[in-house]
């Protein structure tokens, strides 16, 4: 029986991180659940995964603090055998323009959305000669007009980092990105918003969290993929 690697998912307690953790656990992967603020949600997720007879442990770290990337990777390696995949999913999503983004918010956005994946990838690559990193990006990295100015800059930068790291860390470490479209509702959009979105999308259907899980699984199982930015957006990146 082929041994499946352990997967560390940052920001795994809620939203897309949670969907990735559950979906990949159902495929038989041991899961390291990183969380910080959402302790109750993380414990609920861990319990659900363990009910699948899959090994799962939680790791509470504030990724905005210096040194936590090294500490997180080291603890995961010591706690669960076979760390082989890191999914950088933790992110701050903030609606603000260039003119309304303050200094403090700018620093927080870059610290979690770019600096944390950078140093988590570094810590992982220093300790593991073979493995994979998957960065969760955004389909809007191909656009320039956005009400989420600082957030989108960080995702564009993370996309560039993904391809640069893929080249530098080959052949041992593969690095890829997934660019989801509107797969998770923030609860602020109404029915008309989704109707308009459906009319715009080339495939006339909204992407789902499960499709992001499927993309992650495909990347993990495809030894020939590195430096790829895979859109899961029903064709929205084409618009």
Taking residues 35-58, report their average pLDDT.
98
Q: Are the beta carbons of 44 and 21 closer than 8 angstroms?
A: no
Superfamily of domain 6-233: NAD(P)-binding Rossmann-like Domain (3.40.50.720)
Residue 55: the pLDDT is 98
- Confidence label for 1 from pLDDT (cuts 50, 70 and 90): very low
SS3 209: helix
Share of the chain above pLDDT 90, in %: 92
Domain locations along the chain? 6-233
- Confidence label for 202 from pLDDT (cuts 50, 70 and 90): very high
- Confidence label for 62 from pLDDT (cuts 50, 70 and 90): very high
Residue 186: the pLDDT is 57
d(CA 22, CA 12): 9
Taking residues 198-216, report their average pLDDT.
95
pLDDT over 50 (residue 8): yes
How many C-beta atoms lie closer than 10 Å to residue 44's C-beta? 13
Closest CA to 161 of 130, 122, 193: 122
Residue 197: the pLDDT is 87
d(CA 236, CA 140): 9
Share of the chain above pLDDT 70, in %: 97
pLDDT over 50 (residue 195): yes
Q: Are the beta carbons of 41 and 19 closer than 8 angstroms?
A: no
Q: Are the beta carbons of 182 and 138 closer than 8 angstroms?
A: no
pLDDT over 70 (residue 187): no
Give me the helix-helix angle, 103-110 and 149-169, nearest 10°: 30
pLDDT over 60 (residue 188): no
- pLDDT, one tens digit per residue, over 88-128 is 999 999 999 999 999 999 999 999 999 999 999 999 999 99
């Amino acid at each position: 029986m082929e041994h499946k690697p352990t997967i560390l998912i940052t920001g795994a307690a809620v939203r897309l991180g949670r969907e990735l953790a559950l979906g990949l656990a159902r495929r038989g992967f041991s899961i390291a659940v990183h969380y910080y603020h959402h302790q109750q949600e993380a414990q609920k997720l861990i319990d659900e995964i363990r009910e699948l007879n899959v090994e799962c442990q939680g790791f509470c770290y504030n990724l905005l603090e210096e040194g936590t990337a090294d500490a997180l990777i080291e603890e995961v390696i010591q706690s669960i055998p076979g760390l082989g995949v890191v999914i950088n999913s933790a992110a701050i999503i903030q609606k603000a323009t260039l003119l309304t983004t303050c200094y403090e918010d700018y620093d927080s956005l870059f610290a979690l959305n770019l600096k944390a994946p950078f140093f988590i990838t570094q810590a992982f690559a220093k300790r593991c000669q073979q493995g994979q990193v998957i960065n969760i990006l955004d389909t809007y990295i191909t656009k320039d007009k956005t009400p989420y100015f600082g957030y989108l800059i960080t995702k564009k930068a993370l996309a560039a980092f993904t391809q640069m790291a893929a080249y530098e860390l080959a052949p041992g470490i593969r690095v890829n990105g997934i660019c989801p479209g509107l797969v998770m509702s923030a609860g602020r959009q109404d029915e008309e918003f989704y109707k308009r979105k459906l009319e715009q999308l080339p495939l006339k259907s909204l992407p789902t969290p499960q499709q992001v899980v499927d993309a992650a699984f495909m990347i993990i199982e495809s030894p020939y993929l590195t430096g790829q930015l895979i859109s899961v957006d029903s064709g929205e990146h084409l618009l």
